Amino acid sequence: MDPKREFSGRAILVYLIAIGVMWLLWGILWGGAGGLIIGKTLGRDLEYRETVEAFLKERGIETHGKSMTAREVYKKLSPQDRAELDRLTRQTVSTVNWFVLTLLTSAVVFGLLGFFSGFLSKAWILAGAIPIASFFASNPIGRSDFARLLPGVQKMIIVVVQFGVCYGLAYFGARFGVRRESVDD
């Protein structure tokens, strides 16, 4: 470990940029993965779809054979009906394995950020700043209603994975970057 390289201006700048990129990456991956899984969960649950269709029919909203978006249907409902529909949806979505989704998304986000930050800065010690910063704005453990309901042990496992993957891949990225630099010289 070279302290000059680990705490250089370049390393600090790269890790600050990585923290900024993290918010964007979390939004894309967490939103994309969550949306895809929730969409598939709701789309495959025949009982849920039948319940929602009956619920809407009782309120005079026919969706069968009409090309109405979910947003248009939702706008036609009263606040009480919206709350009931939200409850039905949350009940169905609660069957998703949020632990696995959060764990895998965390591994991808922190792995990418750690590796590329280590590679670009040729330093890895500052990698812990990325997961720490995530808790102030974008980490799903604190933001997602479903992930917040995870048991404490599962949350601890996710946090350990976040730090471990970020540090581990930052270390390999830094070693790879240093090795590549020495080959180029």
pLDDT tens digit sequence for 10-34:
899 999 999 999 989 988 998 888 8
When mean pLDDT is compared across 21-35, 60-74, 141-155, 170-184, the lowest value belongs to: 60-74
Within a domain: 106: yes
Helices assigned H by DSSP within the chain: 3-6, 9-44, 46-58, 70-76, 79-93, 98-121, 129-134, 140-143, 145-148, 152-184
Within a domain: 48: no
Residue 65's pLDDT band (cuts 50, 70, 90):
low
Within a domain: 74: no
Q: Is the dihedral of CA 172, 178, 179, 180 positive or negative?
A: positive
User: Could you identify the residue written with the tokens 């990698």?
Assistant: 127
- In the chain, how many domains are there? 1
Domain hosting residue 135, numbered range: 3-43+97-184
Within a domain: 69: no
Residue 131's pLDDT band (cuts 50, 70, 90):
very high
What size, in residues, is the chain? 185
Separation of alpha carbons 2 and 8, rounded Å: 10
Within a domain: 20: yes
pLDDT value of position 41: 83
Within a domain: 163: yes
When mean pLDDT is compared across 41-50, 57-66, 109-118, 150-159, the lowest value belongs to: 57-66
**Mind listing the pLDDT tens digit for each residue in 79-125?**
898 899 888 888 888 777 888 888 999 999 999 999 999 999 999 99
Do 45 and 92 form a contact (C-beta atoms < 8 A)? yes
* pTM of the complete model: 0.78
Within a domain: 32: yes
Separation of alpha carbons 44 and 105, rounded Å: 23
pLDDT above 60 for 2: yes
Within a domain: 85: no
